Amino acid sequence: MSNRHNNFKKGLKKLALAGGALLAAATMASAQPNITTELNGQRLYFDQPPVMQEGRVLVPL
């Protein structure tokens, strides 16, 4: 019974590790890209960064 308990613990550890890796990958995939803005070749800087929402880039005015 001890061997069965150890195998269960090992399997549970592997499952937890795989779940953590999957969660980390999903978090990185959903992160917004670093958006840079330029006007006439000059980089623009804002107090608030541009945001991508529904496929459009929104910049503060």
What are the structural domain ranges in the chain? 1-30, 33-61
Per residue in 33-59, pLDDT (tens digit) is: 788 888 899 998 889 888 888 888 888
Comparing C-alpha atoms, which of 29, 32, 23 is closest to residue 50? Answer: 32
Does the reported pTM lie above 0.75? Answer: no
pLDDT of 29 higher than 70: no
**Residue 51: enclosing H or E segment and its boundaries?**
strand 51-53
pLDDT for res 42: 93
Which is it for the CA torsion 3, 8, 11, 16, positive or negative? negative
Per residue in 13-24, pLDDT (tens digit) is: 888 888 887 777
32: how many CB neighbours lie within 10 A of its CB? 10
